[in-house]
A and B are shown apart, each in its own frame.
Chain A
Amino acid sequence: MNPFDELSIEESVRIREKERYPGGVEEIIALSIGPPKSVDILRTAMAMGADRSIFVEVKEGEEVEPLAVGKIIRKLVEREKVNLVVCGKQSIDDDSGQTGQIVAGLMGWGAATQASKVKFGEGGVEVEKEVDGGTETVRSKLPMVITTDLRLNEPRYASLPNIMKAKKKKIDKVTAEELGVSLERRLKTLKVIEPPPRKGGGKVEDVDGMISKLKELGAI
């Protein structure tokens, strides 16, 4: 599972366990869009505490862009009457960092990105966000989208009994087509290359050696 998504599940479960949302959390649904093997990720999410899952299966090798992911989430949020979407701030493969904001934009909801603290209060949901140079706190009302930063929490390990229990939880399968969302890509990947390698390994004996090498390289 993408590390930021583990944080999302953990936070959702904690909101329920710690009764942070007045009125309680009715249900936690885990959602994944991907090739058949992504089902394993949903099992993990349910072992961590999600109640059920929705799996949008796509063909092996088909990569769904954030915009299409956002549109799928919108359809499912409407269908399931979800009022809080929690997702990772970015996937560590594509590194786009867009999905949560897209969902909020499509739904017209408030969004708090890169959350490091989530508090439910009378005036709404207060979220501390990681921003350049420090943190910023915003307040929004449900329904809303929160994207998770690494410092939000420490995801739990799924225990064996919970892994067994998760096997009985329901996974609802649906296709993008059934939801009326096109997976046609807007970005065509023309090529993928390795970055130019760096040549390291230039070791020096002592601090004087370091200073003179840095001078030689024009770094100081």
Chain B
Amino acid sequence: MISRAGLSVVRQARTQLRPRTGPSPVASLSSLARLLSSLAVLEQRDGKLNHGSLGAVTAAQKLGGSITAFVAGGNIKAVAEEAAKVNGIEKIIAVDNAAYDKGLPENYAPLLVENIRKGGYTHIIAGHTAFGKSLMPRLAALLDVQQISDITAIEDEKTFVRPIYAGNAIATVESSDNIKIITIRGTAFPAAEAEGGSASIEDGVDPKAECNTEWVSENLAKSDRPDLATAGKVVSGGRGLKSKEEFDRIMLPLADALGAAVGASRAAVDSGYADNSLQVGQTGKVVAPQLYLCAGISGAIQHLAGMKDSKVIAAINKDADAPIFQVADVGLVGDLFDKVPELTEKLNKQ
């Protein structure tokens, strides 16, 4: 229902073809560093710190200034102690209350508001994950701040870089809000080191806000393979696999041979070949592994948005004109039903 005048952005993008100057080092903030104070909102599950969420600490380090991390949930002590060892954090604010276990924004956002007011932070940072995506805009509304979503770089304490139009344009935006609320793209901010820190742990304020939403159940795909969003290698299959059976028969052994996570295109997910949570693309996961090896994926713009920052892209496709070959470092034209098993076998022999 909400449409925005986007054409002007594209026009602007076309007239400014200057190459991106790369991730610029954060300008010296020595005079501001004293005032800058970041709150990294960390995720936990079942009493364990989600290390993926430590990218928020990395982003805070790039900003400079003091870094506080926030955790909440039942029996939060172990999580707080784990977070206290993370390099670069000065203080952990922990709120021990099982009401926050599932990260429901209805009570988590008011909880953060109280702790932000008390701590006087200038920057609130979380990952652009399911948790961050549902929580942070609500927090921003409560604080009357315009959030900056899914940033890939920090230029200075108020200037941030974020992809728009499925990654086809890169916008640099300057925030005039007093408090900056930011979600970060995990692949652009690797997790901070989990060792070497010695933060103090402090109890946070708990407003015990009412929650009009209750958590009912979850259905998470279980896998022994590496996590898709953070894996060093990803193998990904598309419509060309033709069925779920073939997807499993062809792609899973290749993933095992490489020690890779499994991904899929939207076409493969929609056809039921692979689980929804494996979708790579603009509306699914954004990955940037060392190696992204895909088979039977044509390379639609929405898919490229989720993987084109991978270090090395390899593609197997029978259509020599498939757009995926325009971005692939290593392309092999051929039938995936022959080529992938052959590749798997040869990799296993090595």
Contact = CB atoms under 8 A, between A and B. Distances in A.
B106 A110 contact: yes
Contacts of A187: 146, 148, 173-176
A195 B170 contact: yes
A180 interface: no
Contacts of A114: 130, 133-134
Contact of A97 (B8, B14, B133): B133
Contacts of A22: none
Interface stretch (A27-35, A157-165, A168-176): A27-35
A211 interface: yes
A50 to B, nearest CB: 9
Contact of B275 (A41, A61, A65, A134): A134
B199 interface: no
Contacts of A201: 325-326, 328, 331
A117 to B, nearest CB: 11
A146 to B, nearest CB: 11
Contacts, number: 326
Given A193-B18, A201-B325, A214-B312, A206 B332 contact: yes
B138 interface: yes
B276 interface: yes
Nearest to A2: B3
A155 interface: no
Interface stretch (B78-86, B208-216, B244-252): B208-216
Interface of A: 1-2, 5, 8-9, 30-35, 38, 41, 45, 58, 60-67, 69-70, 87-106, 109-114, 116, 126, 129-141, 144, 149-151, 185-196, 198, 200-211, 213-214, 217-220
8 contacts: A8-B1, A92-B165, A97-B150, A110-B213, A112-B213, A133-B221, A134-B277, A201-B328
